[in-house]
Chain A
Amino acid sequence: MNDFEKKEILEYIEGAAVGDINLMEVCGTHTMSIAKAGIKSLLPGNIRLLSGPGCPVCVTVQEEIDAFLELSMRPGIIIATYGDMIRVPGSRPGDNLARRRALGADVRIVYSPVDAVEIAAASPEKQVVFLGAGFETTAPGTAAAIKTAAMRSLSNFSVFSMLKLVEPSLRVLIADPDFNVQGFIVPGHVAVIIGEDGFRFLTEEYRIPSVITGFEPEDIWLGIYGLIRQIAEGRAVLKNEYSRLVRPHGNPLALKMMSEVFEPCNARWRGLGLIRESGLAIRSGYAEFDARRRFDMVFEEKESPALCRCGDVIKGQLEPEKCPMFGGRCTPEDPVGPCMVSGEGACAAAYKYRRV
């Protein structure tokens, strides 16, 4: 896309008679890319971009965070995790994995679940627990790690699955009486796995215009343009602007791997509450790799910090900057809520790449 095309699109967007509209990007990587490229600074005031429940760390509930913090201090445990989890705050102020590590917990940052299997193979005297957060994007890799550990008969590797599915959460979001979104920027990475099929319900059942896009600013710009055209023309179709990677039926191999190891289960989401069949639990055939069972982890349902409004941010009902704690009491170095921690969090993106 050259500057001329970019400008042509902007002129169209500025001239489109669509009134005040909200578009939602569901994926945290989109959120970050939008903030980094300064896309919001280019859009006219009547078009707002909101972030949805697509940041894995952000939707994780407090009791699960507290549970892995507690687990990290048990003797002989190595916690292997994606970096995002390190600063996610526990219930007690100042508590997080970084602090637990400073107090002696063995916490390792990994880039892939398979790295955690390697740590287990190299440390037979320790129990390695991988913190499996994420959506359909990370689930196949986590499944592969469990299968690898099974094949190598590793008895000291397990996964604490906090994995979630995108579709059930979007359905809950849309059913909310305060839901006010006129178009979806569909998460491209998730669509690579579950395909166009996984998102057809948005247009076919709910008639909300939706575009699957990639993650370059140009991809997103084109996606926004596509949504506004649909809105202006009164259409609602699922458009695939990411066809270089997204197939109609997704990636069958990854889907098979996922369903061999995991089964849907009821799960609690920050901001959205309990959603039926929205989580992924490890099947009984792989029970020995399930950290929840192996360590008898207990979960007391807990409220998020009283003033934290991450739940509203996740639902797209509050822009990060409008949270009373944004940038004051809640900053990336001292976060109150998870949206301020993760590189994918709406608040972290808004803080790091603030609007002029």
Chain B
Amino acid sequence: MQEVITLDYGSGGKKTSSLIDEIILPVLGNPALSQLGDGAVVDGGKSLVFSTDSFVVDPYFFPGGDIGKLSVCGTVNDVAMAGGRPRYLSLSLIIEEGLPADDLRRIIDSVGAAAKQAGVEVVTGDTKVVEHGKGDGIFINTSGIGTLVCPGLTPAAIRAGDKVLVSGTVGDHGTAVMLARDPMLAGGEIRSDCAPLNELAQKLYSLGSDLRVLRDPTRGGAATTLCEFAESAGLTIELDEGSIPVDPAVRGACDMLGLDPMYCANEGKLLAVVSSEKAQEALDILRCDELGEEASIIGEVTEAHGARVIMKTSFGGSRILTKLAGAQLPRIC
């Protein structure tokens, strides 16, 4: 049967990995790209961090943000997670015929406000309009470039004994968007966490080599990112379910929809692996920032069970956490 690309290939889980590994890397792989970090470190006279991301969120306005804000934060965060101070952005708009001009104005206002907040400038761009029915209102691609200020952030630097931190509640963005898609469920108090994380990351850079790796767990959620860490490091990450911050409203909505917050996207949270000596300092740094008030140490790195993520459940049991397999599906009953 002829192979076709289904929505699962865009979910950020295993199918997305297979698409990258089987179709893209064999042709385009090189030392910078093949690292598959959030951004690539390249040589441009001095070391630069370069990243790109496309945004196709439906609906393009959602509680807590919109596609404009998201398109700035997403790329800024990717550059920051790779150790870069983001400086310049490109902005490409693919607009579907019929998009209300006021919607476009509102989106561009958001781009401006988010860029200002993140301290970056949009310095180049492009606009295309496609026929009605060939886009979903508006798609945006941004690329970002920054100067490398914190080299060496990679899962390969993770050591046994390190601690895992998250900067706040998990699953907010994915849940907010999921609810916003359904008019019957919309209007609740759950908001996307969409925010630029570059300043928060910048503060963590002061930890030097005790900061092993940073990642903002977008598609596939925190669980998928942690699985990638464990795989790359060849070590076990043991999580304590009770210490993972989840907004009660998000938990309730996920229970109802059959979703798991650990697999729902975040757009304003970071995961950090830090040496055990500096873990408390890292926690303090995060908690002193508005974007990290609910930060928590959620687990530690061990050699106990090989390259795996183990969840010690609040109930007292334990289980293995795996990467997201395809998109999360709402269940029947």
Contacts and interface: CB of A to CB of B under 8 A. Distances in A.
Nearest to A351: B322
B184 interface: yes
Nearest to A217: B315
A38 interface: yes
A82 B330 contact: yes
Contacts, number: 126
B313 interface: yes
Most buried by A among B15, B316, B320: B316
A312 interface: no
B329 A83 contact: yes
B184 A102 contact: no
Nearest to A27: B333
Contacts of B8: 87, 98, 333
Interface in A104-156: 109, 111-112, 115, 133-135, 137-138
Contacts of A98: 6-8
Contact of B182 (A37, A42, A111): A111
Interface stretch (A67-75, A88-96, A200-208, A298-306): A88-96
B4 A99 contact: yes
A333 B317 contact: no
A237 interface: no
A101 B314 CA distance: 39
Given A42-B316, A332-B326, A356-B310, A343 B4 contact: no
Contacts of A35: 319
B212 interface: no
A178 interface: no
Given A83-B331, A134-B333, A115 B184 contact: yes
A261 to B, nearest CB: 18
Given A138-B333, A342-B332, A102 B5 contact: yes
B1 A94 contact: yes
Interface string B294-333: 0000000000010000111111111111100110011111
A86 interface: yes
A36 B332 contact: no
B64 to A, nearest CB: 21
A6 B316 contact: yes
Contacts of A218: 315
Nearest to A189: B333
Given A38-B318, A41-B318, A217-B315, A343 B1 contact: no
B252 interface: no
B174 interface: no
Contact of A354 (B319, B326, B331, B333): B319
A95 B1 CA distance: 8
A296 interface: no
B208 interface: no
A274 B326 CA distance: 33
Contacts of A138: 332-333
B13 interface: yes
Nearest to B7: A98
Nearest to B259: A343
Given A36-B319, A38-B311, A102 B332 contact: no
B6 A84 contact: no
Contact of B7 (A101, A133, A356): A101
A42 B317 contact: yes
Given A333-B14, A355-B319, A356-B310, A83 B326 contact: no
Contact of A87 (B13, B14, B326, B330): B326
A342 B331 CA distance: 7
A59 B329 CA distance: 18
Contact of B331 (A84, A87, A221, A351): A84
Contacts of B326: 87, 332-333
Given A98-B8, A103-B4, A343-B258, A87 B329 contact: yes
Contacts of A40: 317
Given A98-B8, A99-B6, A333-B13, A39 B315 contact: yes
A64 interface: no
A57 B305 contact: no
Given A102-B4, A352-B322, A352-B325, A111 B330 contact: yes
A29 interface: yes
B25 to A, nearest CB: 19
Contacts of B13: 333
Contacts of A87: 8, 326, 329
Given A36-B313, A38-B313, A102-B6, A353 B320 contact: yes
A283 B56 CA distance: 44
Interface string A314-343: 000000000000000001110000000011
A311 interface: no
A3 interface: yes
B257 interface: yes
Q: Top 8 closest A-B pairs, CB basis?
A: A38-B317, A83-B329, A83-B330, A332-B325, A354-B320, A343-B331, A37-B315, A217-B315
17 contacts: A6-B316, A28-B331, A38-B313, A38-B318, A41-B317, A86-B329, A94-B1, A98-B7, A99-B6, A111-B182, A115-B182, A133-B332, A134-B332, A217-B313, A333-B15, A342-B331, A352-B325
Interface of B: 1, 3-8, 13-15, 182, 184-185, 257-258, 260, 305, 310-322, 325-326, 329-333
Given A36-B260, A351-B322, 10 more contacts: A6-B315, A28-B333, A29-B333, A38-B315, A38-B317, A38-B319, A99-B4, A102-B7, A111-B330, A356-B310
